[in-house]
Amino acid sequence: EVPADLAGRHVVISAGGTREPLDPVRFLGNRSSGKQGYALARTAAARGARVTLVAANSALAAPGGVDVVPVETAVQLREAVLKAASDADAVVMAAAVADFRPAVYAPGKIKKHGTADPEPVALVRNPDILAELATDRPRAGQIVVGFAAETDDVLANGRAKLARKRCDLLVVNEVGTDKTFGAEENEAVVLGADGSETSVPYGPKEALSDTVWDLVALRFPDPGAG
């Protein structure tokens, strides 16, 4: 029996990886499949929450009973998350958001012919959605959770990222070309702004998701309906 401890709560989850277009046919992207974010959505719905899932370029099927908002770019993801977050009890940013986007979008396909040497691609910074949410909470008492995808010095980088982003919880996971991205399983350490550290051993992404919801539920300022 799944506890209905998220009944009466609205949770917003971002999933997948943003795509930053160069022209109508090409983009800068990343290896996120959306599986971790969708697992968070399924487990929250199973625990009674109303769930908004902002999904960037995921091929996964929409989980039952979940409101899915499809987006492509970081700027679109920011807009959709901020809109849904205005009445949310918790926001979990599991999406892999591009830190930079091409400075120029070419309205026609960039041609191979005509240019002797290819031009370098100029990039501009994307908004940091997690830091923005954590700093200006759209709703008082809202719990803000980030993920940290690290390839080296995983825990040290995670601790520094938690301090920089000012979120309540940061789920630190290791990634690589054959690690975590697209996999059914994950392992992580969930860091709390209060100094807590919760290790989740390698297992289904749903198990990590349930631990995240346990830690979120503990931090809600008021008792829930469940």
99 annotated as a binding-site residue: yes
User: What does the angle CA 215 – CA 221 – CA 226 come to, to the nearest 5 degrees?
Assistant: 70
Interface with ligand PMT, residue 73, by CB under 6 A: no
32 contacts ligand PMT (rule: CB under 6 A)? yes
- Asked if 53 and 41 count as a contact pair (C-beta separation under 8 A), the reply is yes
Asked whether residue 143 is marked as a ligand-binding residue, the answer is: no
The first and second tokens of residue 93, run together, are 């940013």
Is 90 a binding residue for ligand PMT by CB under 6 A? The answer is no
At closest approach, how far in Å is the CB of 180 from ligand PMT?
5
Residues 39/209, Cβ–Cβ less than 8 Å: yes
**Candidate residues 12, 90, 96, 200; the one interacting with ligand PMT per rule CB under 6 A:** 96
181 binds ligand PMT (CB under 6 A): yes
Which residues are annotated as catalytic?
Answer: 30
Q: Do residues 148 and 170 make contact, with C-beta atoms less than 8 angstroms apart?
A: yes
Give whichever of 46 and 208 is closer to ligand PMT, judged by the CB atom.
208
* Contact of 164 with 157, CB cutoff 8 Å: no
Tell me: does residue 209 bind ligand PMT (CB under 6 A): no
Q: How many residues in total does the chain contain?
A: 226
Q: Which amino acid would we find at residue 132? A: E
Tokens 């930053």 belong to: 20
* Contact flags string 122-161 toward ligand PMT, x per CB under 6 A: ----x-xxx---------------xxxx------------
Alpha helices (H) along the chain: 35-46, 74-85, 129-135, 154-165, 205-219
| Residues of each annotated binding site | 99, 109, 127-130, 147, 161, 165
| Residues of each annotated binding site for CTP | 99, 109, 127-130, 147, 161, 165
Residues that bind ligand PMT (CB under 6 A): 32-36, 74, 93-97, 99, 126, 128-130, 146-149, 173, 175, 180-182
